[in-house]
Copies of this chain bind each other. A is one copy, B any other.
Amino acid sequence: MKDLHDMASRARGAFYAVSVASPEIRNQTLSVLADLLYERRERIFEANAADVDEASAQDLAAPLLHRLTFGENKLNQVIRGLHALCGLPDPIGRTLSATELTEGLNLYRVSCPIGVIGVIFESRPDALIQISSLCVKSGNAVLLKGGREALRTNQALCGCVRDALERTGLPADTAQLLETREDVALMLKEDTLIDLIIPRGSNSFVRYIMDNSRIPVLGHSDGICHVYIDREADLETALKIALDSKTQNVSVCNAMETLLVHRDIAPSFLPEAERLFSAAGVEIRGDSGTRELISCIPADEKDWSTEYLDYIVSVRIVSSLQEAVDHINFYGSHHTDCIVTRNPDTASGFMNKVDSAGVYWNVSTRFADGFVYGLGAEVGIATGKLHARGPMGLEGLTTYKYKLIGSGQTMKEVKSGLIGYTHKPLRDNCPF
Which chain A residues have a beta carbon within 8 Å of chain B's beta carbons? 16, 19-20, 99, 101, 105, 107, 112, 114-115, 195-196, 207, 210-211, 214, 216, 218, 234, 236-237, 240-241, 243-244, 248-249, 329, 344, 347-348, 351-353, 355-364, 366-368, 372-374, 384-387, 389-391, 399-412, 415, 421, 423, 431-432
Min Cβ gap A247→B in Å is 9
| Bound CA span A373–B400, Å | 15
Some 21 contacts from A to B, beta carbons below 8 A apart, are A20-B352, A99-B373, A101-B372, A114-B385, A216-B384, A234-B408, A241-B408, A243-B410, A249-B411, A351-B401, A358-B402, A358-B404, A359-B402, A362-B405, A362-B408, A363-B405, A366-B411, A373-B402, A374-B421, A386-B399, A390-B401
Taking a contact as CB atoms under 8 Å apart, the answer to whether A248 and B210 are in contact is no
Closest 8 CB pairs between A and B? A363-B406, A244-B410, A366-B411, A348-B432, A374-B423, A387-B387, A237-B408, A386-B387
6 more CB-based (< 8 A) A-B contacts, given A114-B385, A218-B386, A363-B406: A20-B353, A358-B401, A360-B406, A363-B405, A386-B386, A389-B399
Task: Tell me the dominant secondary structure on chain A's binding face.
Answer: mixed
Taking a contact as CB atoms under 8 Å apart, the answer to whether B374 and A99 are in contact is yes
Taking a contact as CB atoms under 8 Å apart, the answer to whether B432 and A352 are in contact is yes
Q: A214-B207, A366-B411, A410-B244 are in contact. Are A357 and B105 (CB under 8 A)?
A: no
Q: Nearest CB to that of A254 among chain B residues?
A: B411
Taking a contact as CB atoms under 8 Å apart, the answer to whether B115 and A357 are in contact is no
Max chain B Cβ within 10 angstroms of own Cβ: one of A112, A372, A373, A402: A402
| Bound CA span A19–B236, Å | 33
Q: Which of B114, B214, B367, B389 makes the CB contact (< 8 A) with A400?
A: B389
Q: Which of B210, B352, B391, B411 makes the CB contact (< 8 A) with A367?
A: B411
| Bound CA span A215–B169, Å | 40
Taking a contact as CB atoms under 8 Å apart, the answer to whether B364 and A409 are in contact is yes
Q: Nearest CB to that of A108 among chain B residues?
A: B351
A218 surroundings in chain B (CB, below 8 A): 386
Taking a contact as CB atoms under 8 Å apart, the answer to whether A240 and B357 are in contact is no
